[in-house]
Structure 1
Amino acid sequence: MNYFSQALTWLNDPLNWTNPGGLFDRLIEHLQITAWAVLIGCIIGWPIGIWLGHRGKGGAAVITVANLTLAVPTLALLTILPLTPLGFGRPPVIVALAVFAVPPLLANAYTGLRSIDPETIEAAKGMGLSGGQVLRRVELPLAVPYLAAGLRTAAVQVVATAALATFVNGGGLGEIIAAGFGLGINVGGGQIVAGGIVVVALALIVEGLLALVQRLVTPAPLRAVKRRRPVRATSVG
């Protein structure tokens, strides 16, 4: 059976989008879960990475923490967290995905500050800037491409992984896929593929939008440097 053609037929049915629990509802849930998880990841990962990068210490700790975080399977967290006071629903999903978002945010924040030419920092200090002023006026603006790259990587990873929320009744686009499996592969195969297509499309859209944001927030002089030597999300491990 051609499940791809069935998926296109399913996606072209307006009722599958507008009915309660349809694609529009699940898409909003998916985006809300992603936004909260990435926000929490930023609140945890960025300050630690920036602080350690500014101090010039803790590189080994950053790598260790990031690797340990990546080593924890998201599905395992989704299985364990509902048994805690968090219960079932969105809270355990958001926490699990936030843990998944921290490594690229933390590693890129640290790398961004450590990649700055030490002579630039010494020149800023020679002009009388304090440590905090150097961080705010020099280091953070120059680290923007790395911070944006970490955000981009974390957001795309979370968008793709948030489909697992369906296992703990957390909502999101995974519910569409799970409902298709509930109908059986012969009946719901098109719906399963359709749900997968929407998740992939959403991840690509988020990637494209954040790539544009990354370019817009990068200072113009750094864009020329980036064209010669592209800034990539740091790979940890």
Structure 2
Amino acid sequence: MALVQRISGLHQQGATHESAAIVRQVAVMITPEDVARLATLLQENGPTGSSTYLARSVSAGAPEHAAATLAVLRREGMIDEAADLFHTLWSASSAALPALLAALEQSGQSADGQTLLWERASAPAEELAELAQHLKDAGRADDARHLLRQAAGRPINEVAAIAGALNEETAMELVGELVRLRSASDIGRFGAAIQGATELYDTLLFAADDLEESRARSVFAALRTGGLPTQPAPRPRSRSRQRR
């Protein structure tokens, strides 16, 4: 209670920066249960909005602490505070997100992790490529695959930009998702968008060639209609094979 009185006193004196700094510091130092208790006291006695500010501030700490606090706030019925914390977690960096996803799983909140991943599927190309690599490096290949599947549904010019930002292995996965999910005409437009990137275009040809027979023929027909090649560019030791 003394801490709440100090925060309220500073706020009333116009020292809002000082009171906010105290809240930020405390948020990452105390247990999730104590965060919930302090938030309750701030709701009742603190400055307006201080309890949700406390919850948001938890996101600056360790992923495990943030995930555990989110679970406690929900369990205690602190809906606004939990919502503010969760929305703040949307801005976690690409490097921090794999650990956050793991922490949410460990605290029984896997669905929230998938929501965060779904939100990131609309990130700019460079950011999405960076996140995919971080997920793979953290051993979360399934999450990386889910991210790429979502990205494959974006506008074709965006998918092309993402593919160009990925490393070769991950670009192959994205192109594989694209040829399985999109129409033949969409794949033809994708081919036109990446034609200048020889390796990436060849990846598209190989992915299309591995489709079921009738679908593969439709894709190659769409490429021909767009005046695009259906054979890989000649190179030494090319992995070229006959196209349909």
**TM norm structure 2:** 0.23
Larger Rg: 2
Identify the structure with bigger relative contact order (alpha carbons < 8 Å, sequence gap 6+). Answer: 1
Greater helix proportion: 1
